[in-house]
Amino acid sequence: MATLSFNTARIQTPSLPRILRSSSFTKPIKTTLSSSESLSKRGRFVSRSLPESSLSIAKEETFIKQEEVNEVEEDDPTSELSYLDPETDAEGIKEWELDFCSRPILDSRGKKIWELVVCDASLSLQVTKYFANNVINSITLKDAIVSITQDLGVPLPEKIRFFRSQMQTIISKACKELAIKSVPSKRCLSLFLWLQERYDTVYTRHPGFQKGSLPLLSLDNPFPMNLPENLFGEKWAFVQLPYSAIKEEISCFEEKFVFGASLDLDLLGVEVDENTLIPGLSVASSRAKPLAAWMNGLEVCSIEADSSKGCLILAVGISTRYVYATYKKTPVTTDEAEAWESAKKASGGLHFLAIQDDLDSDDCVGFWLLIDLPPPPV
């Protein structure tokens, strides 16, 4: 499955379907999902108990038939995984998602086992490696990254995204020595889903699993800061688009948007009715293109309407949160902010940010499709 991205070399002026709005606050219509679960795993995770030779196309020219996979009675939770989809162009995998952290598993010394988990956004690449806690450093990580490229015949990536601020020094140093750009970001959605799946199907079955063990490196959620001046817009409005229109925008994302980011909704398993209105935030500025360019380098994660404080919170990177906009608290504005958040939950966490020259324009210069996902349990 291809990962949606944007190509600034051949993008023209974007054009969105008409954004429905009647005022600076547009009250979203309440909707329900077509399924009781807003996200469902797509079966893209690979069995961990397959022979290593069958998981590396660098060593094996043929791949295991599905009938043979089904014969595997039970996955071995202590084994490691090294997999590259044989139908994937290895040269096309230019960005990785990476986690390097302890797991709720004890080794024979009674110490927590560490694990390296690597994938790409489409889960065509999936690698796991276990490590003792006394070898955790940038050299170990660098060597592991190199070994992945050698074992699977994939090139070093151009970027590696990671979501734990506590590991930034080690990951950044390892990447720098390999001329890889390290990107702190919570837009590691495939990795988030895979870690949840591994917790449910691997870690809990490991003989050293420690039930109730808290993550050693928890995710930060700091107090929001003031917004930098270069990120200020001039006007904003709550807006909404039908889910069908959102999918149309994604289908031609590369051709339409210079700035922004998309999501692989098929991989995420989002199940929303076609007519469901997806809530978003439209920001207008006379300097829309520079504003969108600045926003493009921030790894925009999500937007939250905090009705208790009368403000909007913009989350970017790993743990940076900004007070993106404020409004006067009244019963009406509070109801509208709460309705916007309710619509976001009803659509499985989907929402978007659009940057425009004018709120009444049909066009925008930046478009970010966003989703709220709970952090992985490890």
In angstroms, the CA 64 to CA 54 distance is: 7
In angstroms, the CA 144 to CA 227 distance is: 38
Looking at residue 219, what is its pLDDT? 66
What is the Cα 347 distance to its own chain's centre?
Answer: 17
Question: Domain 82-205 belongs to what architecture?
Answer: 2-Layer Sandwich (3.30)
Looking at residue 221, what is its pLDDT? 72
Computed over its alpha carbons, how large is the radius of gyration of the chain? 22
User: What are the angstrom distances between the C-alpha of 265 and each of 3, 149, 348?
Assistant: 10, 28, 11
Looking at residue 142, what is its pLDDT? 98
Residue where the block lists tokens 């994604």: 250
Residue numbers of the chain with a pLDDT score lower than 70:
1-74, 216-220
The domain locations on the chain are: 82-205, 225-371
Looking at residue 45, what is its pLDDT? 57
User: Do residues 348 and 364 make contact, with C-beta atoms less than 8 angstroms apart?
Assistant: no
Looking at residue 39, what is its pLDDT? 28
Q: What is the pLDDT of residues 180-195, one digit of tens each?
A: 999 999 999 999 999 9
Helix, coil or strand: residue 329:
coil
In angstroms, the CA 315 to CA 168 distance is: 18
User: Do residues 84 and 90 make contact, with C-beta atoms less than 8 angstroms apart?
Assistant: yes
Q: Whats the size of the chain, residue-wise?
A: 378
Looking at residue 62, what is its pLDDT? 36
Report CA torsion sign: 279, 284, 287, 288.
positive
Looking at residue 7, what is its pLDDT? 26
What is the Cα 175 distance to its own chain's centre?
Answer: 20
Given its phi and psi angles, is residue 195 left (phi above 0), alpha (psi -120 to 50 degrees) or beta? alpha
Helix, coil or strand: residue 93:
coil
Does the model's pTM come out above 0.75?
Answer: yes
Looking at residue 100, what is its pLDDT? 97
What is the Cα 317 distance to its own chain's centre?
Answer: 11
